[in-house]
Amino acid sequence: MNRRTRLIVLLLAVALLGTVGTAAVLRAAGRSADRDRQQADGPPVRPGTVALHPSGARQLLVRNLAWGPHRDEITAVPAAHPGAARTASGLTCLRFHAAAGTGICLQAERGALTDTYRALVLDARLRVRHRFPAPGIPTRARVSPSGRTVAWTVFVSGDSYAGTAFSTRTAIADTRTWALDDNLEDYAVTKDGRPYHASDVNVWGVTFADDTRFYATLATGGRTYLVRGDRTARTLTTLHGNVECPSLSPDGTRVAYKKRVPGASPDAPWRLYVLDLATGRETATAEHRSIDDQALWSGTRTLLYALPGDYGSDLWTVPADGSGTARRLMTSAVAPAYTG
């Protein structure tokens, strides 16, 4: 082949490959546009005012995943009627939690070149009180029961020594002083009664006992642990093995969590368990599918969690004591939080 022929072949290939690439992008763009149109069989969603101190009945706030103009917005439904029409707040969040009039919203921000992420601390009317930059993809968010302290976890990549490994970053912020601990891995770790250092320590999934004490997951050496954390002393202490994404019950006696069970597929390795903190007794819930969520307590007896659904995920509920059966509470929703 002479130079001219080779150039012609190259140009033809560029044209062909360019067409294939463009077609793929346009098809994906069309599909993405579909998601902005309301589905006839989806739950009704109307714009309105959402507040964290509702005057009336208790509300359930979720990130709405139903297709339409309010997709990804924080929406509210009466806690007693989760299937009722959703009131959309106009605030878009990837992850959300709220307690006692304080909200935390983890949000993607479109930059000129790439997306960046941030954590927004919200007041009771969902107005932004403070912004913190977040260094990766949001995964967990929690507010302490009094509303004073907030925590969030993101995934970061390219942080470990071998390329495709991922790790987490968990931060805790004080909403009065705006003091920020932007990486809980800096806390002093006590594992099995001894001081512990390791480069592969990851911390995620904070759940608060009060404004300074909390529980979280610590992973190192291929194992996970429930840790008790103290924001004042800057310490993490391991309590129990094989615990991920703990969620403390409102009475502070139990932790709902993801447990890796033997024999499960590597894509679906977890089951939802409840740990009694005083006795160390583990109870399997009646949810037999693998869950990958930080469960939420709706009162002292019932758990709420997300499972994959037709439009991303649905919210399910199951008794915390191992009885009963799992049932679907809401379709097309994720990241729940109760007000009041």
Q: How far apart are CA 173 and CA 293, in angstroms?
A: 22
- Letter for the amino acid at 67? W
Q: Which two tokens stand for residue 70?
A: 């309010």
> Could you tell me which stretch among 18-26, 82-90, 271-279, 297-305 binds other proteins (CB under 8 A)?
18-26
Q: Which of 87, 144, 298, 313 binds other proteins (CB under 8 A)?
A: 313
> Could you tell me which stretch among 1-9, 144-152, 247-255, 316-324 binds other proteins (CB under 8 A)?
1-9
Q: What angle is formed at CA 322 by the lines to CA 319 and CA 323, rounded to 5 degrees?
A: 70
Closer Cβ to other proteins, 24 or 84, answer by number: 24
Sheet of strand 115-122: strand arrangement: 95-99, 102-110, 115-122, 128-134
Q: How far apart are CA 333 and CA 331, in angstroms?
A: 6
> Could you tell me which stretch among 41-49, 53-61, 97-105, 161-169 binds other proteins (CB under 8 A)?
161-169
DSSP states of 80-105? T-TTSPEEEEEEE-SEEEEETTEEEE
Q: Which of 55, 177, 199, 279 binds other proteins (CB under 8 A)?
A: 199
Could you give the string, one character per residue 287-306, with x where binding to other proteins holds by CB under 8 A and - elsewhere? -----x--------------
Is 178 near other proteins (CB under 8 A)?
no
Site for other proteins in 80-99 (CB under 8 A): 94
Q: How far apart are CA 140 and CA 128, in angstroms?
A: 19
Q: Which of 58, 178, 200, 325 binds other proteins (CB under 8 A)?
A: 200
Closer Cβ to other proteins, 162 or 278, answer by number: 162
Minimal distance, residue 47 CB to other proteins, in Å: 21
Q: Which of 15, 40, 113, 278 binds other proteins (CB under 8 A)?
A: 113
Q: How far apart are CA 328 and CA 336, in angstroms?
A: 14
Which bin fits 327, alpha (ψ -120 to 50), beta or left (φ > 0)?
A: beta
Helices then strands, counting H and E runs in the chain, come out as: 1, 27
Q: Which of 56, 193, 222, 262 binds other proteins (CB under 8 A)?
A: 222
Q: How far apart are CA 326 and CA 289, in angstroms?
A: 10
Is 116 near other proteins (CB under 8 A)?
yes
Closer Cβ to other proteins, 61 or 244, answer by number: 244
Site for other proteins in 255-274 (CB under 8 A): 266-267
Minimal distance, residue 145 CB to other proteins, in Å: 26
Q: Which two tokens stand for residue 50?
A: 């959402």
Q: Which of 39, 78, 145, 182 binds other proteins (CB under 8 A)?
A: 182
Report the C-alpha dihedral over residues 261, 264, 270, 275, rounded to 10 degrees. -20
Q: How far apart are CA 74 and CA 110, in angstroms?
A: 19
Could you give the string, one character per residue 27-46, with x where binding to other proteins holds by CB under 8 A and - elsewhere? xxx-xx--x-----------
Minimal distance, residue 324 CB to other proteins, in Å: 25
Q: Which two tokens stand for residue 95?
A: 């992850």
Is 160 near other proteins (CB under 8 A)?
yes
Q: Which of 135, 145, 299, 319 binds other proteins (CB under 8 A)?
A: 135
Report the C-alpha dihedral over residues 64, 66, 71, 74, rounded to 10 degrees. -10
Q: Which two tokens stand for residue 228?
A: 């008790």
Is 179 near other proteins (CB under 8 A)?
no
* The pairing of beta strand 86-92 with beta strand 45-47: parallel
Residues that bind other proteins (CB under 8 A): 1, 6, 9-10, 13-14, 17-18, 20-21, 24-29, 31-32, 35, 94, 110, 113-116, 133-137, 139, 155-169, 171, 182-183, 186, 196-200, 202, 219, 222, 266-267, 292, 308, 312-313
